[in-house]
Amino acid sequence: MCGIVGLFLKDASLEPKLGAMLADMLVTMTDRGPDSAGIAIYSGAGKGRAKLTVQSAHPGRDFANLDADLKDAIGTPVLMLIKDTHAMLEVPLAQLEAARSALTHLRPEVKVMSAGEGIEIFKEVGLPKDVATRFGIAKMGGTHGIGHTRMATESAVTTMGAHPFSTGNDQCLVHNGSLSNHNGVRRELKRLGMTFETENDTEVGAAFISHKLQSGDTLGHALEATLTDLDGFFTFVVGTKNGFGVVRDPIACKPAVMAETDQYVAFGSEYRALVNLPGIETARIWEPEPATVYFWER
């Protein structure tokens, strides 16, 4: 199974509540997958700043003085916000790659969950309720976000195997389904220079889309290419700096419901995930068509 939720806000007055709304939607989807949960939240892009969200199995050891050590390495002050096993490091946008590279020397065991102007990813093994609480998701504001609760099929239940997967700056993907040709596609993407953290099928889907975007494709074209090049079952929800997209495979047996009002566009694996959103009674509600790309950007 797996449960997916997504929320793209059109009404800025809802932005302070994004995390709370998204966490509520994700908790409702708990019984679609109890193995691990994750959320990507986008906020604050376009201000010349960038965020690195990192994870450690030993946060006490790895996050101690990390901001000071990074400052020494890149020569500018670093703002660090520690949340449980994750830390968000904010640096000037121009220093993002320098910070990321310094991190690999300073704290080799730390994993980068996401990097970019807007994106922050928090994911761990456990139930959505517990994961959302550990990372204080309900207190986070933002413009759009996606969430996932996992029932593992293709790879181990680990933090790195949880969704969302991020394989490019400000990009992430969540997936309900399973890909059958991921090993072959991974080999080809590695040859083209993409790097992988796991043996997970979804990470291949994410890297496939990231590679297309790096090659100059639009998000729409990249999503359309999944229909011809990826084999298997999928409902994908993709986040980018400016918006989110949805695509389902041609068989479309993995469920999807969408709702749109003047205030937001919302995605849920089931209608249940949407029932607490404001104005849902009068929202336009529909199932995304199979083999059809949808995306919303601001």
Partner 1 sequence: MQTFDLSKDGLRALNSSLHALKGQTNMTAWEVINPKGAHAIAAGVDAPVEITVRGSTGYYCAGMNKQASIFIKGSAGPGVAENMMSGKVVIDGDASQYAGATGRGGLLVIKGNASSRCGISMKGIEIVVHGNIGHMSCFMAQSGSVVVLGDAGEALGDSLYEARLFVRGKVKSLGADCIEKEMRPEHYALVEDLLRRGEADHKAKPEQFRRYGSARKLYNFNIDNAAAY
Taking the complex as a whole, the smallest distance from the CB of residue 227 to partner 1 amounts, in Å, to 14
Our finding on whether 227 is near partner 1 (CB under 8 A) is no
Of the pair 68, 253, the CB lying nearest partner 1 is at 253
Query: What is d(CA 245, CA 62) in angstroms, rounded to the nearest whole number?
Result: 35
Our finding on whether 272 is near partner 1 (CB under 8 A) is yes
Our finding on whether 274 is near partner 1 (CB under 8 A) is yes
Our finding on whether 287 is near partner 1 (CB under 8 A) is yes
Nearest to 163 by CA among 272, 256, 258, 40: 40
- Identify whether the C-beta of residue 111 lies closer than 8 Å to the C-beta of residue 160: yes
Nearest to 3 by CA among 287, 272, 277, 184: 272
Our finding on whether 279 is near partner 1 (CB under 8 A) is no
253 is catalytic: no
Our finding on whether 253 is near partner 1 (CB under 8 A) is yes
Dig out the tokens for 117 from the structure: 């102007």
- Identify whether the C-beta of residue 266 lies closer than 8 Å to the C-beta of residue 278: no
Catalytic residue among 2, 25, 172, 179: 2
Answer left, alpha or beta for residue 216, where phi above 0 means left and psi between -120 and 50 means alpha.
left
Our finding on whether 270 is near partner 1 (CB under 8 A) is yes
Taking the complex as a whole, the smallest distance from the CB of residue 254 to partner 1 amounts, in Å, to 10
Number of Cβ atoms within 10 Å of the Cβ of 180:
13
Q: Per CB under 8 A, which region of 55-63, 77-85, 213-221, 281-289 contacts partner 1?
A: 281-289
Active-site positions? 2
Give the footprint of partner 1 on this chain (CB under 8 A).
250-253, 255, 257, 270-275, 285-287, 290
